Amino acid sequence: MCGIIGCAGRDGETLDVLVHGLSKLEYRGYDSAGVALSADALDVCKTAGEISELRAALEERELSGTVGIGHTRWSTHGPPTDENAHPHLDCNREVAVVHNGIIENYQTLRDELSTAGHEFRSDTDTEVVPHLVEDELRDGHAPEDAVRRAISRLEGSYAIAAVVAGSDSIFAARNDSPLVLGISDDAYYLASDVPAFRDHTDRVVYLDDGEFAVLNGDGYTVTTLDGEGVEKPVETVDWDPEETGKSGYDHFMLKEIHEQPRALRQCLRGRVDELGGEVDLGDLGDLSPRGVQFVAAGTSYHASLYAAQLFRQAGIPAQAFLGSEYATSVPPIGDALVVGVTQSGETADTLSALREARRRGARTLAVTNTVGSTAARECDHALYIRAGPEFGVAATKTFSSQIAALNLLALAVTSVGDAREVISALRDLPGAVQEILDDSTAADIAETYRDADSYFFIGRGLNYPVALEGALKMKEISYRHAEGFAAGELKHGSLALVTENTPVFAVVTGSDEMATKTVGNVKEVEARDAPVVAVTDGASDVERYADHVLEVPDTHPRVAAVVANVQLQLTAYHTADLLGRSIDKPRNLAKSVTVE
């Protein structure tokens, strides 16, 4: 969601580093931006709108300071206005604070501070923090101690960075919201995500909940909030900063759709033995689950629905739960393995579900794309999908890589009679996806149905989660109404919405009973004059009843869903592009949802 950047040690380059870092965080979703530089006094500039608006405002200002912080805000408390943009200041303009998360007791604190004479300029929960620091400074506490004491009064989730006039340090703390330090030979950085400073260093320190960091031009320290020293490992980021660019594509989303063959190869590399029919997932140990509960949100939930079917097919009870529901209404766990599927490893709803599962004694596994993420650190085990950085808000290559990784997990811990065939299909999957990318006619389909009233997506079995994902992609980036259904459920009410201006995308692969039944559902749609787009390998003969066909290569049923999904990604992308939508940063959405 919101983005944080901080820099110490770059002197006259600090402002450029901050603005560049914010531009690298645009993918997270935001509606305002701002920076604060600190020296003997504070210089602050913030605006509603995109970073281009901030750049324009900075051209009319001359900011100076030796350390600084910056922020991109995704609105929670109060609309996107200049006043609500971060950084927020105290009454004396001596303290500047940026914050990700939600301060749950902010209203109590705000009432207390207002009664004491503090004046508030914004609608945000964040603004209580600089005023709390102001009070601590007035009571004679040094800046570092004042920030610590202020933060100790907060309840809720936060990643906070603060600067104080007259101090050459940045003070930062986290609780349930990510914060990472960047370490170079002559400068130090902090951010909500590594891309903000990856152009400057590949050495990072991930903060944990309850930790407090101080950065200046001479170095950094990490302690608990109470001041007890903490030894933190310095890790190395294994992806190149060039991966954060568009590489000539019009949008990050299109680039990432085309990166799927490479991402899948990275996911599979070193993990499959095709000749032996075996999967090696390294040090996960002997999981041997008697049951599996998946917890996830959004696209990751669709991948979890897919994975739960794989385990059930292998005779292991498995269910997929929305993290937000699981955390507040936990089903019986018993000795089930609880698997959190989260691209960022920071999704608040999924983390809450995993923590509740651990509190009840369950073993936990994180399936994530982000090394060092909260989910990876807090779970008993972590399986990385290795998709590389993803910047488009709409997940594409991470969904494909999640399905590949979850296939590997199922193969590693269950007995599958055709394991060799599945592994062979997984090894061929990057080539099959590339074939779609080379030959897809999705752009033509998008042109034909760009003005549709609504879009329906149907599928059965492993194709049902793909139908859900296809609808989600269309909603996310085209802003058009779209729904995904289990194909057999269409006639139980939703068929009333089908019209000649409601294209139905039917995902039909193979020629088994499920495919035959889905063809029957297609006939029901056809009989009501709705156009049908069949996403198919041709095995079921469904194209006889379709107005258009998006072809997919013939492959194993376990991986056919991945290939079909690419056609739906491309259809959503081209539809949104034709409609002139903000594809990488769709309205109201954020890449990493770090609040519940």
- Say which residues have a Cβ less than 8 Å from residue 74's Cβ, sequence separation at least 6: 1, 2, 28, 29, 30, 31, 590
- Mean pLDDT (whole number) for 525-539: 89
As a whole number of angstroms, the distance between CA 336 and CA 332 comes to 9
- Mean pLDDT (whole number) for 146-153: 96
| Whether residue 430 has pLDDT greater than 90 | yes
Q: What string of DSSP letters covers 517-572?
A: HHHHHHHHHHTTT--EEEEE-STT-GGGG-SEEEE-----HHHHHHHHHHHHHHHH
As a whole number of angstroms, the distance between CA 342 and CA 346 comes to 7
Q: What one-letter code names the amino acid at 198?
A: R
Task: For residue 535, give the nearest of 525, 524, 546, 526 by alpha carbon.
Answer: 546
As a whole number of angstroms, the distance between CA 180 and CA 3 comes to 12
Q: Which residue has the higher pLDDT, 278 or 581?
A: 581
As a whole number of angstroms, the longest Cα–Cα distance in the chain is 80
| Whether residue 278 has pLDDT greater than 80 | yes
pLDDT at 164: 96
As a whole number of angstroms, the distance between CA 438 and CA 435 comes to 5
Q: What one-letter code names the amino acid at 570?
A: L
What are the backbone angles phi and psi of residue 585, rounded to the nearest 5°?
A: -130, 65
- Euclidean distance between the first and final Cα of the chain, in Å? 12
Residue 2 falls in the annotated catalytic set: yes
Superfamily grouping for domain 3-240: Aminohydrolase, N-terminal nucleophile (Ntn) domain (3.60.20.10)
- Mean pLDDT (whole number) for 159-168: 95
What are the backbone angles phi and psi of residue 543, rounded to the nearest 5°?
A: -65, -20
The pLDDT-based confidence of 402 (bands split at 50, 70, 90) is very high
| Whether residue 591 has pLDDT greater than 70 | no
- Mean pLDDT (whole number) for 130-142: 96
Q: Report the length, in residues, of the chain.
A: 596
pLDDT at 592: 56
Q: Of the given ranges (76-90, 108-122, 180-194, 351-365), which has the lowest mean pLDDT? A: 76-90
- Mean pLDDT (whole number) for 57-64: 87
Q: What string of DSSP letters covers 394-425?
A: S--HHHHHHHHHHHHHHHHHS--TTHHHHHHH
Task: For residue 509, give the nearest of 555, 476, 567, 574 by alpha carbon.
Answer: 555
pLDDT tens digits for 369-395? 988 888 998 999 999 999 988 888 899
- State the average pLDDT for the chain: 90
* Whether 112 contacts 150, CB under 8 Å: no
pLDDT tens digits for 29-53? 678 899 999 988 999 999 988 888 9
% of the chain residues with pLDDT over 70: 96
pLDDT tens digits for 219-241? 999 999 999 999 999 999 876 66
How big is the CA angle at 458 (ends 457 and 459), to the nearest 5 degrees?
A: 135
As a whole number of angstroms, the distance between CA 363 and CA 339 comes to 9
* Whether 450 contacts 557, CB under 8 Å: no
Domain boundary assignment for the chain:
3-240, 245-433, 440-596
What DSSP state is assigned to residue 489? G
| DSSP-derived pairing of the beta strands 278-279 and 318-322 | unpaired
- Say which residues have a Cβ less than 8 Å from residue 371's Cβ, sequence separation at least 6: 235, 238, 384
How big is the CA angle at 352 (ends 350 and 357), to the nearest 5 degrees?
A: 95
pLDDT at 90: 96
Radius of gyration of the chain (CA): 25
Task: For residue 299, give the nearest of 559, 570, 593 by alpha carbon.
Answer: 593
CATH 3.40.50.10490, domain 245-433, yes or no: yes
Residue 7 falls in the annotated catalytic set: no
The pLDDT-based confidence of 73 (bands split at 50, 70, 90) is confident
Q: Do domains 245-433 and 440-596 have the same CATH topology?
A: yes
pLDDT at 98: 95
One of 24, 255, 473, 591 is an active-site residue; which one? 591
How big is the CA angle at 397 (ends 293 and 541), to the nearest 5 degrees?
A: 85
Q: Which residue has the higher pLDDT, 109 or 370?
A: 109
As a whole number of angstroms, the distance between CA 339 and CA 289 comes to 11
| Residue for token pair 């996911």 | 267
How big is the CA angle at 151 (ends 148 and 156), to the nearest 5 degrees?
A: 155
Out of 3.30.70.141, 3.30.360.10, 3.40.50.10490, 3.40.50.300, the CATH code matching 440-596 is: 3.40.50.10490
pLDDT tens digits for 511-527? 889 889 989 888 888 87
Residue 92 has a CB neighbour count (10 Å cut-off) of 13
| Whether residue 274 has pLDDT greater than 70 | yes
The pLDDT-based confidence of 547 (bands split at 50, 70, 90) is very high
As a whole number of angstroms, the distance between CA 209 and CA 535 comes to 45
- Say which residues have a Cβ less than 8 Å from residue 73's Cβ, sequence separation at least 6: 2, 30, 31, 32, 33, 34, 80, 84, 85, 86
The pLDDT-based confidence of 360 (bands split at 50, 70, 90) is very high
How big is the CA angle at 115 (ends 112 and 121), to the nearest 5 degrees?
A: 85
One of 2, 7, 45, 267 is an active-site residue; which one? 2
